Chains A and B, each alone.
Chain A
């Protein structure tokens, strides 16, 4: 189990300026969804973007987080979503 706020902190530390929204999907504090909007993602593949987030959460992914659904956007992509 892990607090959502810690997940937000870790991602923000790794991707300065990112907008991060984390949702507890099951109410059990171990299945989360994160929406991350960052200019660091520009020109990067989906695999590279997800890896950047997984690296920020390397320790947490080994236990406390059982599942993490990711949605990743650049600010431009996010705005285009409407």
Chain B
């Protein structure tokens, strides 16, 4: 009987580990930085902004959202105004003191000035295409 129990407990240990490997959201017991890491990993094109694309609450956020929208590909927007912890956390996560912030393919791309510059140079189109499976 005791041998059988051991053989059952072993395979159970592994799935637990693989769950640990994924950054947890706050709902799952993680902290805000871990939740951001999860969002960055799960969303190929991700924008942290003030307000939402339909109703931006800051000119820089509006500009970043409009640039991303111009490519006609879906992107995920997170409104940090409704989440003070995330508003602070995103600045720590990227060592970047301003919002908006754009992440593509899991990498920090920059704020609205850099986004505009990459948009004008054509590099942003290439980046977005590279994560859209084109």
Residues of A within 8 A of B (CB): 46-47, 50-51, 54, 58, 61-62, 67-71
Contacts and interface: CB of A to CB of B under 8 A. Distances in A.
Given A47-B108, A67-B60, A58 B113 contact: no
B58 to A, nearest CB: 8
Nearest to A58: B97
A67 B108 contact: no
A54 B108 contact: no
A71 B109 CA distance: 16
A1 B44 CA distance: 37
7 pairs of A and B residues whose beta carbons are closest in the complex: A61-B97, A46-B114, A54-B97, A47-B110, A70-B113, A69-B113, A46-B110
- Chain B interface mostly: mixed
Contacts of A46: 110, 114, 117-118
B43 interface: no
B14 interface: no
